[in-house]
Amino acid sequence: MNKIKDLFKARWMSSLVFLILLFLITGIADHNFLTYSNIINCFNTATMYTLLAIGIAFVIMTGEIDVSIGATLGLTAAMTGLIAQSGGSIGKMLLVCVAVGAAVGVVNGMGVAFFGVPSLIFTLGTNGLIRGLIYIVTDGRTVENFGGPIAYYGNKELFGQITLYYALTILLVAVAHVLLTRTRKGKYFIAVGDNPGGANLVGISVFRTKLIAYILCGVFAGIAGYVFASKYRQVMTVAGNGYEMTAIAACVLGGISLSGGLGNMVGAAIGAVIMSSISRLLVFIGLPSDYNNTITGVMLIVIVVVDSLTQRRSIEMSRRKRLLSRTAVGAAKGGDEA
Amino acid sequence: MTGEMKKQNQPCTLSVKDITKSFGTNAVLKGVSIDLHAGDVLVLIGGNGAGKSTLMKIIMGIYRADGGEICIDGKAVNMTNPSAALAAGVYMVPQEPMLFPNMTVEENILMGFHESSQELKKRLAKHMEELGFKLNLQRKANTLSIAEQQLVEILRGMMREAKVLILDEPTSALTFGEVQALFRVVEDLKSKGISMIYITHRLTEVFEIATDVAIMKDGVITLRGPVGEFDKEMLIRGLLPTDAEMQESGRTAYVPVPYDKLKPVMEVRNLSGYGFSNISFDLYPGEILGIAGVVGAGRTELISTIFGRDKVLGGTVKLDGKDITGLPTARILKEGINFVPEDRHYHGLFKIRSISSNTTSALLNTDEIGRVEINRKRQNEISQKYVDEFRTKIVSLEDLIGSLSGGNQQKVVIARSLSTNPKVVILDEPTRGIDAAARGDVYNIIHQLKDAGVAVLMVSSDIEEVVELADRAVTVFQGRINGEFGHDEITQDVLTGASFGIAQKKAVSE
């Protein structure tokens, strides 16, 4: 019984309720929406956002941010395409994607955790740098016309219209979730975001934890890049532009606090589905998809403002409680009667 | 007797030798040595800035010492980071507990271990039973009271088999009952042979729990020994600055303030807020009222509440008979109260603006320096006037304020608050971080204010400063005024005693 209660109190639960409500409202607006294949499609299209979101969730969990993941996705997608054009194997593509993503993560992690540059500024810098690299790697041309096994797997369905990639992504979500919430080292991410000073005092290295978070974030962005290339078989130089915002919004919608230390991977995955569904839902509700960005922007701002207000309130409340206990009746007794 | 004998034969649990540490050119620790035997409770007292916290942070591996040695059980340990200190068996319960607010109590305690969680949980249950703690392990840390958070911190220390526990002002945010409970825990730990360093600002606590006392002053330990060799008067004397006599003889001829002819400009009655309660005092024009006390006594909270930056919970503040309780800061400024904050950098200065922009920034919402466009000439006239008056050392009024020394920056901040012609000026730690020469200038400026009929309310942790400047003084202890002193009564002993919670009237009259 208690377990069920806890389940409903969890932050990601409200995201799930929100997602179901979104589906129901759209269903009321247009009965044609509520079909099995439409709903499964909402999940399938969330594959890349889900990968990006669980990657960046590690970073957000430690209280930092990474706005270079969209560019990392673009770069790795372009490299995947180039390897495919020259007839390389899928193993080679994945290896390159993971290695490039990890390298970006090391650079970001060093800049933020070692040199202490504010993470938004530093990753904005690497974002520009990677965008530049995409032009160099591709000579400024769209990478396309590649086939082979990568094209075959791109939209392969496993069972019941669920794509192979989404199924594998769900597997990764489960692994990341267990890693973050069930293992000792995984909890370091949460601890560092919750209270860096306290983490330091119990012997957790804040630097190492943040560095690993950035590397994981880069690796997941690299995998997302592979999926992008495989799915669309056409990688433009601007591929992945703005995906970082969607991924961040997915995390926030999924109950991960931007100030760190709060939330989990299941929430991030649900948030990703919400984000990827919105454009589809708009079509059914009858609004032009021009509203897509505006609506996600408004949602993001509302949630972030509410989140930061509640955080500030709880900090202020505990400060006041502390000050009040100093002057509480009896507290002064300690020394006066000398 | 036998206890003493036994102690001598054992190696020290913690032995700190000749630790030195400087921040820039400022030597904070000048060769500090401490020895702790098993079961010792060393109470460390000392004024603000004596170096206690720095020393603890070095023992804990948060800072690195410039020189000296730390030994645990007779073996030298290289305290390069907190993990090294933890591994060596040192644990610090910081003044503000450093828990992970969004995690459960259990997660908080078990964070950072490498053993299996089954085993850890068993050990935790054992420690809790031994100490008689009853805590719901599934509660979130942000629902715990400060006292409960400290228990969690102590359990963390126990789980690490800590031999040395550092308690940094553990009672500063506890109620009376909680303090008693904490003392019982300290007794328990003591009987288990755990050594403790206990930092406090409350002298009465020394005699309740200490086995040894040490007084720290200006980066050195000036006095230490078993608690039996001390009484309160000795401790207070130990806390006084060494050159006390010299300072007092240097005071200039004093012109008393004719209080019977004056009407108070500001009346504070039973004012309560976050961090202080039931505060009453009058402030007269042309006087300097010193508010003494240790950091955390509630003085800063008091004045920032008067200045409208925090919520008033009860009582009234009147300025010239007009009720200004709880008005927003902008209105209070307009009514004629000005505030020179403690931290120039955070609250006082616009660092990348010129000296003249800074001096006149408080006039921006008046018509004094132009209605729409800023009148540069007027701005410079006003600034030049204060630069001349205060002997501020500048090259040009257009220089960035960041290029000035601390003392000269402070002069600009005071000039700014004067440019609005206030009735009351509140100064919070007016000479913190300022060198001796500039300090004299700031004192002169404060005297000028007084001569001009401005009422000055001065908060200072520097007792010498209060003795030097104040016409009257009150001391704040744990959020309440516990002493009020006329000019003749202000001495270093009296103020130090009262700041540390001991009313000294008796000792003075003898």
What pLDDT, on the 0 to 100 scale, is given for residue B498? 85
Q: How many Cβ atoms from other residues are within 10 Å of residue B156's Cβ?
A: 27
CB hemisphere CA count around A311 (13 angstroms): 16
Strands B14-23 and B90-93: unpaired
Q: Which residues of B touch A203 (CB under 8 A)?
A: 81-83, 86-87, 112
pLDDT band at B250; cut points 50, 70, 90: very low
Q: How many domains, in total, are found in chain B?
A: 3
Q: Which residues of A touch B111 (CB under 8 A)?
A: 187-188, 191, 199, 202, 204
pLDDT band at B330; cut points 50, 70, 90: confident
What pLDDT, on the 0 to 100 scale, is given for residue B2? 43
> Which residue in chain B is spatially nearest to A322 when comparing CA positions?
B173
Nearest to B482 among A191, A322, A336 (CB): A336
A184:B202 CB<8 A: no
Region B173-191: mean pLDDT is 83
DSSP state, residue B15: E
Per-residue tokens: B376: 């540069």
Nearest to B111 among A191, A205, A322 (CB): A191
Q: Which residues of A touch B102 (CB under 8 A)?
A: 190, 194, 261-262
Residue B462: burial class (beta carbons within 10 Å; 0-12, 13-18, 19+): buried
DSSP state, residue B346: I
Distance from CA of B481 to the nearest CA of A (A): 11
Q: How far apart are CA A246 and CA A296, in angstroms?
A: 8
With beta carbons less than 8 A apart as the criterion, state whether B282 and B266 touch.
yes
Report pTM. 0.76
Residues B377 and B460 in one domain: no
Q: Which residues of A touch B176 (CB under 8 A)?
A: 330-331, 333-334
Tokens 């396309």 sit on residue: A144
Residues B284 and B170 in one domain: no
Q: How far apart are CA B136 and CA B62, in angstroms?
A: 31
Interface test with B, best of A183, A202, A315 (most B CBs within 10 A): A202
Residues B103 and B157 in one domain: yes
ipTM value > 0.85: no
Q: Is residue B285 part of a domain?
A: yes
What pLDDT, on the 0 to 100 scale, is given for residue B346? 60
Residues B74 and B190 in one domain: yes
Residues B288 and B413 in one domain: no
> Which residue in chain A is spatially nearest to B173 when comparing CA positions?
A326
Q: Is the dihedral of CA B372, B375, B379, B381 positive or negative?
A: negative
Q: Is residue B347 part of a domain?
A: no
Residues B410 and B429 in one domain: no
Region B297-324: mean pLDDT is 89
Domain ranges, residue B156: 10-239
Q: Which residues of A touch B101 (CB under 8 A)?
A: 194-195, 261, 314
> Would you state the torsion angle of the CA atoms of residues A77, A79, A81, A83, taken in this order, to the nearest 10 degrees?
-150
Instruction: Tell me the angle at which helices A164-182 and A206-232 cross, rounded to the nearest 10 degrees.
Output: 170
Q: Which residues of A touch B96 (CB under 8 A)?
A: 322
> Which residue in chain B is spatially nearest to A335 when comparing CA positions?
B501
Instruction: Give the number of beta-carbon pairs within 8 Å between A and B.
Output: 136
Distance from CA of A65 to the nearest CA of B (A): 20
**Domain limit, last residue, from B402, B420, B438:** B420
Residues B308 and B388 in one domain: no
Distance from CA of A330 to the nearest CA of B (A): 5
Per-residue tokens: B311: 């919520």
**Domain limit, last residue, from B199, B214, B239:** B239
Residue B244 has pLDDT above 70, yes or no: no
How far is C-alpha B224 from the chain's CA centre?
23
Region B398-403: mean pLDDT is 78
Instruction: For the domain covering A10-288, report its CATH number.
Output: 1.10.3470
Residues B257 and B388 in one domain: no
Indicate which CATH number applies to the domain containing B290: 3.40.50.300
> Which residue in chain A is spatially nearest to B482 when comparing CA positions?
A336
Q: Which residues of A touch B272 (CB under 8 A)?
A: 327
Per-residue tokens: B32: 């500090």
A198:B98 CB<8 A: yes
> Which residue in chain B is spatially nearest to A204 when comparing CA positions?
B112
Interface test with A, best of B96, B100, B144 (most A CBs within 10 A): B100
Q: Is residue B139 part of a domain?
A: yes
What pLDDT, on the 0 to 100 scale, is given for residue B510? 32
Tokens 């409340």 sit on residue: A317
pLDDT band at B508; cut points 50, 70, 90: very low
Q: Which alpha helices (H) appear in A183-259, and where do they start and end? A: 184-194, 196-201, 206-232, 243-253
DSSP one-letter string for A11-23: HHHHHHHHHHHHH
B6-15, B116-125, B127-136, B212-221: the lowest-pLDDT one: B6-15
**Domain limit, last residue, from B370, B403, B420:** B420
3 state SS of B47:
coil
Interface test with A, best of B109, B171, B176 (most A CBs within 10 A): B176
What pLDDT, on the 0 to 100 scale, is given for residue B114? 79
Residues B57 and B138 in one domain: yes
Residue extents of the structural domains in chain A: 10-288
Q: Is residue B349 part of a domain?
A: no
Region B426-446: mean pLDDT is 79
3 state SS of B256:
coil
**Cα–Cα nearest to B295, from B52, B71, B460:** B460
Per-residue tokens: A8: 């409903």
Q: How far apart are CA B492 and CA B463, in angstroms?
A: 6
Residue B269 has pLDDT above 70, yes or no: yes
Residues B429 and B329 in one domain: yes
Q: Which residues of chain A have pLDDT under 50?
A: 330-338
Q: How far apart are CA A262 and CA A60, in angstroms?
A: 9
Q: How far apart are CA B322 and CA B477, in angstroms?
A: 29
What pLDDT, on the 0 to 100 scale, is given for residue A333? 41
With beta carbons less than 8 A apart as the criterion, state whether B43 and B204 touch.
no
DSSP one-letter string for B122-163: HHHHHHHHHHT----TTSBGGGS-HHHHHHHHHHHHHHTT-S
Q: What is the mean pLDDT of chain B?
A: 82
What pLDDT, on the 0 to 100 scale, is given for residue A143? 92
Query: For residue B49, which phi and psi values (nearest 5 degrees)?
Result: 80, 10
Distance from CA of A75 to the nearest CA of B (A): 37
Residue B355 has pLDDT above 90, yes or no: no
The winner for highest mean pLDDT among A74-78, A231-235, B226-230, B365-369 is: A74-78
What pLDDT, on the 0 to 100 scale, is given for residue B247? 44
pLDDT band at B255; cut points 50, 70, 90: confident
Q: For chain A, how big is the Rg over CA atoms in Å? A: 22
Residue B214: burial class (beta carbons within 10 Å; 0-12, 13-18, 19+): buried
Interface test with A, best of B150, B152, B175 (most A CBs within 10 A): B175
Distance from CA of B169 to the nearest CA of A (A): 12
B274:A324 CB<8 A: yes
